[in-house]
Amino acid sequence: MWMIYFVTGGARSGKSRFAEQLVARMAAPERICFVATGVVTDEEMRARIQRHKMTRDGRWSTIEEPHDVARLIQEQEHTYNVFLIDCLSLLLNNWMFDLNVDEPEFRRKLAELVHALTVVNADCVIVSNEIGLGLVPADALSRRYRDWLGWLNQAVAQVADKVYFVASGIAVDLKQLPGAQVVQEHFLED
């Protein structure tokens, strides 16, 4: 049975490291695809990406896909049995600032991604930032990014079998907490 794992938390919380450890503990992850949504924008980012690649062994392949993760996992599902997508917050950034998506296009892309995650014949581990715990941003663009990322995270969390929140290097399975309930949002409806 294929599983969807969603890992969220703040910046530098340990969520990416936890996601990689989660994949390493899976039964037989012999064909692992690290789906990198980040793009090299400067030398610091290039060095950061290189350091991340060096921590993974030969079972891992890295595919950079900054825009169409849904298509990628559907096309590559016979090549890999595990996809680690890192991360949704950069994917949304790319949709907003590379592709200039409007809200209807965002909702379509969100629905495509959720659909792909639920039908692919592979385990999926998805990483994202949780940015909705702070102050309300002062400008409209930042508020839109915060809102859309919140909706994207909720949509993935709703279909995920396991949802982990990572803070200070400690992961908690949110769906296993006593009294945990999924809040049904209507962000996919027009």
Cite the active site residues: 52
Q: What is the dihedral of CA 33, 64, 14, 187, to 10 degrees?
A: -100
In DSSP notation, 125-155 reads EEEEE--TTSPPPSSHHHHHHHHHHHHHHHH
CA–CA dist 138, 16 (Å, integer): 29
CA–CA dist 107, 184 (Å, integer): 16
Read off the amino acid at residue 9. G
CA–CA dist 94, 173 (Å, integer): 28
The helix/strand/coil state of 54 is: helix
* 121 φ, ψ (degrees, to nearest 5): -90, 65
